[in-house]
Amino acid sequence: MNAQTLLRDVESLPEEKQNEVADFIAFLRARQVRRKPVATEVARGTPSAFFGMWADREDMVDSSCWVRSLRQTDWHIHG
């Protein structure tokens, strides 16, 4: 879909629906702005404050096993 087709489609809507489209676009932009800095930091190699905070934990060498063990203990799962 190109911009001209999209514009024509929006212009063909009643004003109330055009306002809803504008609100949705604002919503999408807000989500994009919030997510962008995190992706940029990771892409640039700038570590987060939490990056590697559990790197030295010997009980988390296999994270899947660790989570499974926690669930069995906390959720009283046997098997």
* Distance, CA of 74 to CA of 78 (rounded, Å): 11
Whether 18 maps to a domain, the answer reads: yes
Whether 27 maps to a domain, the answer reads: yes
Structural domain for 15, as ranges: 3-74
- Please state the domain count of the chain: 1
Whether 69 maps to a domain, the answer reads: yes
45 against 71, higher pLDDT: 71
Whether 37 maps to a domain, the answer reads: yes
Name the pTM for this structure. 0.41
Model pLDDT, residue 15: 93
Whether 79 maps to a domain, the answer reads: no
Whether 16 maps to a domain, the answer reads: yes
Q: What is the pLDDT of residues 10-64, one digit of tens each?
A: 999 999 999 998 988 888 888 876 655 555 555 666 666 777 777 777 777 777 8
Task: Single out the residue of 72, 35, 29, 31 nearest to residue 21, CA to CA.
Answer: 29
